[in-house]
Amino acid sequence: MAYINTKLENGAIWYDTDGNIIHAHGGHMLFRNGFYYWYGENRTNGNYVGCYRSSDLMNWEFRNNVLTINSQNQPIRIRTDLSLKNEKNSNGKINLERPKVLFNEKTNKYVLWAHYENGTDYSCAACAIATCDTPDGDFIYHGSFNPFGYMSRDCTLYQDCSGMAYFISAARDNADLHVYRLTEDYMNAECLVHKLWQGEYREAPAVFRREDKYYMFSSYCTGWAPNQGKYAASDGMENRWSILLNIGDETTYRTQPAFFLTVSGTKTTSYIYVSDRWDGKDYNNSRYVFLPVNFDETGEPAMNYCENFAIDVSTGEFRILC
Ligand code: GAL
């Protein structure tokens, strides 16, 4: 193989195993059958969502653009908007942001949720769904909608160990963060279980679990510009969440959360904050920053910056390198 990474540099351009720039912005990872699948925004050409895979979390093989302007569609209920094109825009595209994918054990489907906008402005504030029988095949688009009529912008998915899954998204012009429990097939919001941090304008939510505690990191709402990250903790997705506390520095090291990666190995379990370092002027020049989250004895998380790192999937270690 021509390109083998033994270390990765935060904020540098990262290449896939073909030597092409990795476009998986605002993304998510799913571990299936020995591979980590990395999904994210790819705004080049007619693409919406790119998919890469890796067995070592260091070297990424491009698999497919799983959602594009030409993806097939299939309605799943009335009054969903099935369009993936907008002729009013010079590139003919809509916007699909922050794509997240879960595997549903009951239906054997890979289910993708994302934030949908018309590509001109942010007035649609909707979510969108797509599915596939394989992790990296051509996903079928099932359209966009407003869950229970609410606005829905920055979003994430979280799957609990019981298989219960949640869609979390910014509502009321980003003022409140909603948590929806998903239906058994993950194809709809079953109920709204929380309206969190009303009036706090939280964006870019990302959730993980460590031992019996759930953590949610998020950013404040300042567009592409980074700001002070905050976190909250809970005993369960549907239980009470704590107030928001600062994490990282005043710009969260010039990042915004994308998702968390948990790597368990023979020596340790690492909790890795995966984030975007956006380039607001030149979107396709946006970069990735992976940082380890450390915990004190009471379970409070802390995060420092590091430049170069390597992940060892067998030991579970996140190694900070010079
Ligand atoms: C950010 C958001 C991104 C994108 C951007 C557009 O706040 O997290 O996903 O929507 O705004 O300005």
pLDDT at 79: 76
Per-residue pLDDT of the chain (322 residues; tens, 9 = 90+): 457 899 999 999 999 999 999 999 999 999 999 999 999 999 999 999 999 999 999 999 999 999 999 999 999 877 789 999 999 999 999 999 999 999 999 999 999 999 999 999 999 999 999 999 999 999 999 999 999 999 999 999 999 999 999 999 999 999 999 999 999 999 999 999 999 999 999 999 999 999 999 999 999 999 999 999 999 999 999 999 999 999 999 999 999 999 999 999 999 999 999 999 999 999 999 999 999 999 999 999 999 999 999 999 999 999 999 7
> Which DSSP letter does residue 167 get?
E
Burial of 153 (0-12, 13-18, 19+ CB in 10 A): buried
pLDDT at 2: 54
pLDDT at 77: 78
Q: How far is the CA of 269 from the centre of ligand 1 (A)?
A: 30
Interatomic CA distance for residues 89 and 299, integer angstroms: 48
Take atom 6 of ligand 1 and give the residue whose Cα is closest: 223
Task: Answer for the pair 166, 155: CB distance below 8 angstroms, yes or no.
Answer: no
Interatomic CA distance for residues 260 and 207, integer angstroms: 7
Nearest Cα to 206, choosing from 269, 121, 132, 274?
274
Nearest Cα to 317, choosing from 57, 50, 10?
57
Residues ≥6 apart with Cβ < 8 Å to 80: 142, 143, 144, 145
pLDDT at 198: 98
Q: How far is the CA of 297 from the centre of ligand 1 (A)?
A: 34
Q: Which residue has the tokens 């949610």?
A: 216
**Which residues line the pocket of ligand 1, CB cutoff 6 A?**
26, 97-98, 154, 203-204, 221, 223-224, 256
Q: How far is the CA of 172 from the centre of ligand 1 (A)?
A: 15
The Cα diameter of the chain in Å comes to 55
Take atom 7 of ligand 1 and give the residue whose Cα is closest: 223
Query: Which residues sit opposite 260 in a β-bridge?
Result: 273
pLDDT at 11: 98
Dig out the tokens for 27 from the structure: 């993304």
Best residue among 117, 278, 282 to mutate for probing ligand 1's pocket (most ligand atoms within 8 Å of CB) is 278
pTM, entire model: 0.98
Q: How far is the CA of 170 from the centre of ligand 1 (A)?
A: 11
pLDDT at 266: 98
Nearest Cα to 134, choosing from 64, 196, 45?
64
Task: Answer for the pair 176, 151: CB distance below 8 angstroms, yes or no.
Answer: no
Q: How far is the CA of 223 from the centre of ligand 1 (A)?
A: 5
pLDDT at 76: 86
